[in-house]
């Protein structure tokens, strides 16, 4: 990339005193260096977990009450509350949200769609 003439930084970087600030890609996991597929998966799971935690908090549930509600044990809710993202699959989180009556909507960005999606399959 070409550096910015005024600051000597890359165009997507800004200088703030001694620290360099780089604009986010919109996915903190990608920014942290995860491969694109894993970063996308982590971002989805994180958003689902945030919504589940909000559901539990809005209803004032204890971990034991939430465990009973979702039909899991209390340590499983503790993992959710403590943001242990590696302990949950997208399927599990979607199932829990559905059980809570929370709809899940999926959006696709054109930049994220595969070029194979529009490929014609011979009959």
Query: How confident is the model over 78-87, as pLDDT tens digits?
Result: 999 999 999 9
Beta strands in the chain (DSSP E): 13-16, 19-22
Rounded percentage of the chain residues whose pLDDT exceeds 90: 54
Q: Show the tokens assigned to 29.
A: 């996991």
Query: How confident is the model over 9-47, as pLDDT tens digits?
Result: 444 555 556 788 888 888 888 888 888 899 999 999 999
Whose tokens are 């011979």? That residue is 122
Q: Supply the pLDDT for residue 115.
A: 46
Domains in the chain, start-ordered, CATH in brackets?
45-107 (1.10.260.40)
Q: Supply the pLDDT for residue 25.
A: 84
Helix, strand, coil % in the chain, rounded to nearest 5: 50, 5, 40
CA distance 65 to 10: 51
Positive or negative, the CA dihedral 51, 55, 58, 63 is negative
Radius of gyration over every alpha carbon of the chain, rounded to an integer in angstroms: 20
Q: Supply the pLDDT for residue 14.
A: 57
Give burial (CB, 10 Å; 0-12/13-18/19+) of 53.
Answer: middle
Mean pLDDT of 111-123: 49
Q: Supply the pLDDT for residue 103.
A: 93
């Amino acid at each position: 990339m070409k550096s910015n003439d005024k600051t000597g930084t890359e165009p997507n970087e800004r200088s703030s005193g001694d620290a360099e600030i780089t604009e986010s890609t919109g996915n903190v996991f990608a920014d942290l260096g995860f491969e694109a597929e894993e970063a996308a998966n982590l971002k989805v799971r994180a958003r689902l977990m945030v919504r589940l935690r909000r559901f539990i908090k809005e209803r004032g549930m204890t971990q034991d009450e939430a465990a009973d509600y979702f039909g899991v044990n209390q340590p499983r809710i503790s993992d959710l509350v403590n943001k242990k993202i590696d302990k949950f699959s997208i399927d599990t989180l979607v199932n829990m949200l559905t059980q809570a009556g929370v709809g899940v909507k999926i959006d696709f960005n054109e930049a994220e769609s595969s070029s194979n999606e529009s490929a014609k399959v011979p009959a």
